[in-house]
Amino acid sequence: MPRIAVVGVGYVGLVTGACFADLGNTVTCIDIDADRITALNEGHLPIYEPGLEELVARAADAGRLRFTTDYAEALDGAEFAFIAVGTPSGASGEADMRYSEAAARSIAQAMMGPLIIVNKSTMPIGAGDAIGNLIRRELRDPWDVTVVSNPEFLREGSAVTDFFGPDRVVLGAPDRAAAERVADLYRPLNAPIIITDMRTAEMVKYASNAFLATKISFINEIAAICDQLGADVAEVARGMGFDKRIGRSFLDAGLGYGGSCFPKDVRALEHMASIHGCHPQLLRAVMEINRDVRRSFLQKLRGALGSLDGKVVGVLGLAFKPNTDDLRDAPALELIHLLQHEGAQVRAYDPAAKEHASQLLSDVYLGTDAYDVATGCDALALVTEWNEFKELDMAAIGRRMRSPVLIDGRNIYDPDELTRLGFHYIGMGRAPAGDAPVGPVAGQADGADLAASAPVQATANRYDPGPGR
């Protein structure tokens, strides 16, 4: 079986290494963080990801997965070297390539034979060419080097499942033979494999993430309109989702996107477009809506409580999404900062991210569970839709609160049920029926005019779908 080196033991690198090892390959993961490597060799993972701990243990026990800080050790006999290090946002939104470039230099200096370099990290368009040129300049011996772009599409919280059941595998390379060799690693997964040029493969990743972020911002824009017009965005999304051209996924209104991918990738794509003469106004709107939805959440809280100064607010969920402990660009962190800025006291709980949160948050009480956090609160804010929050005894939660105000940032609760239990329930785009506007919408003369004009307009729209629909 092939020998593989994976540079980086974060979410992408560790999952990639462990899964390839589970497929029968011999994998060595490299990281410059000695403490992380020591912990991994002792069986302790640096991240929380369902199913990963068992996978790592099984592959390590079988001798197919090792961890080291030594590039020479990892590359000894390797046919492939996957680069899976972070590419965070730079000062202007650009992807910061310093870690990828450092990994490339270290690979070049430790290579002992021909090698296929696989860019697994999300890198800017043209990065594959740059990494290949850098390695060739740094080589101690004139070994043959080929770079293949292989963007990852792993979702935190389901990364192991996503690896073994991908929608597609995308490979980009100037050398078709090298791409086919990487494709052979993935063939046991029986997934569609797309082989294209390197820059197109790099763009597939950015375009995919930007589109998904756009769907999230779109439904949040609709939610804001629903709030004003008295519609229920959850039902709107359900009705939209039956349309096969739209689909139901990523149409859950809430606090917007966060994490390590969508925010930085949309910013990076906007940066690349703008410096090359484009005007990426849609991408800018996506980012603006995502920022504003967090502010509107705060406004809902302020509106319910009158003032936040001196109030006690409980926050349920800190990680940017369920089934992970990742706090990067998590909406909860920004919300807590804004709450504290307005004088609120914050109590918070997360099933997995408490340890990481304790290192990032100050003057925040981190509770043992949701019931603990709710005690004495003037309001409770649901931020991350962990399954355990869906199963809470909400009557018991309400009894522990000073005032039963609940703002549901992910629309996981039934508004009617919460109201029946005595809560003042506030959702995202789920205005109570009593708050619906009375009379014609602004811009309509009156009800009679609306009735007269509607049939003609509906007929035109129904039978003239337009080009490309």
* C-alpha span between 258 and 430 (Å, rounded): 22
Question: Is residue 320 a contact partner of residue 254, using CB atoms and an 8 Å limit?
Answer: no
| 3-state secondary structure at position 311 | coil
Question: Is residue 108 a contact partner of residue 134, using CB atoms and an 8 Å limit?
Answer: yes
Dihedral angle of Cα 250, 252, 253, 254, to the nearest 10 degrees: -100
* C-alpha span between 357 and 337 (Å, rounded): 13
The active-site residue, picked from 29, 226, 261, 377, is 261
Question: Is residue 298 a contact partner of residue 333, using CB atoms and an 8 Å limit?
Answer: no
Question: Is residue 198 a contact partner of residue 129, using CB atoms and an 8 Å limit?
Answer: yes
Sign of the dihedral through C-alpha 8, 11, 13, 15: positive
Q: Which among 87, 137, 86 is positioned nearest to 111, based on CA atoms? A: 137
Q: What are phi and psi of 169, to 5 degrees?
A: -115, 125
Q: Which residue has the tokens 């109201």?
A: 419
Q: Is 261 a catalytic residue?
A: yes
Cβ neighbour number for residue 194 with a 10 Å cutoff: 15
* C-alpha span between 213 and 206 (Å, rounded): 11
Q: Which among 184, 124, 178, 190 is positioned nearest to 151, based on CA atoms? A: 124
Catalytic center residues = 261
